[in-house]
Amino acid sequence: SVFRNADEASRAVALEIAHLIRYKQAAGQHVVLGLATGSSPKKVYGELIRLHREEGLSFRNVISFNLDEYYPMKPDAIQSYHRFMREQLFDHIDIQPENYHLPDGTLPLEDVRAFCEQYEQKIEALGGLDFQLLGIGRNGHIGFNEPGSHISSRTRLMTLDAVTRQDAGGDFGGIAKVPRRAITLGVRAIMNARRVVLIAWGEHKADIVKSAIEGPMTELVPASYLQTHQNAKFVVDEACASEL
């Protein structure tokens, strides 16, 4: 779907999430959301907070799993995705703290593999992701599944691409300070979500969005895997749709 601007698009995405939460609430069920960080989802979260405050949307039945976290990363560091999620969403809604999950950037290296397995098992034990929100990197990554990631890749420690580290350089005060690795939910778990919505705004994403949607399905553009997903949608603004 193409919207005039990111505000209108974000409102539509937030409404879809809100409907899902309310639908599950009415059925007395929990809802399992896959959440994303980066600049793109900020307005979606802002709108969810507004719906909570002004329209009584409750998140008490929500269980969430974030896509990724830098490694190593302390949860209270400025660039931490834990901190991002608290500031952009969790601190402003009634989600139960025990119900949200993010990859742990503080683990000793030897514990990361087991953590990743458990992260996926937790999602599966809850019946899988009902909804996965995604951004897209300029190199086509989803989560931190960089180019070269297999369609059935597992949740794992990923070495970050040069483009990714360059784009993150601003947040870290220089590319040299950007962590070299991150823990990311694997492509397999993303593809297993029953609904996937990828959001992208702005002209700087137009080329990669075109490749992901119209190009061949290739591991060089992990977002192109969504072409084979049964229920995936790209939500973009007009600037980002300019190449389509």
List the one residue from 1, 29, 39, 159 that touches ligand GLP (CB under 6 A): 39
Q: Which stretch binds ligand GLP (CB under 6 A): 14-22, 88-96, 130-138, 146-154?
A: 130-138
Nearer to ligand GLP, 50 or 165 (CB): 165
Q: Spell out, one character per residue from 69 to 108, where the chain touches ligand GLP: x when CB under 6 A holds, - when not.
A: ----------------------------------------
* Residue with Cβ nearer ligand GLP (120 or 167): 167
Check binding of 144 to ligand GLP (CB under 6 A): yes
Question: In the numeric block, which tokens belong to residue 85?
Answer: 């999620």
Catalytic entry in 16, 54, 146, 219: 146
Residue span 149-168 as binding mask against ligand GLP, x where in contact by CB under 6 A, dash where not: ---------------x----
Which residue is nearest to ligand GLP, using beta carbons?
135
Q: How crowded is the C-beta side of 116, counted as CA atoms within 13 Å?
A: 24
* Binding of residue 169 to ligand GLP (CB under 6 A): no
**Residue of 190, 177, 206 whose CA lies nearest to 145:** 190
Q: Judged by CB under 6 A, does residue 34 bind ligand GLP?
A: no
Lookup result for tokens 């959001």 = 199
Q: Is 68 in the site for ligand GLP (CB under 6 A)?
A: yes
Among residues 61 and 156, whose Cβ is nearest to ligand GLP? 156
Among 38, 72, 75, 169, binds ligand GLP (CB under 6 A): 38
Alpha-carbon distance 2 to 242, whole Å? Answer: 10
- Residue 146 annotated in active site: yes
What residues pair up with 145 in beta bridges, in sequence order?
142
Q: Is 128 a residue that touches ligand GLP (CB under 6 A)?
A: no
Is 13 a residue that touches ligand GLP (CB under 6 A)? no
Residues engaged in binding ligand GLP (CB under 6 A) = 36-40, 67-68, 135-137, 143-144, 164
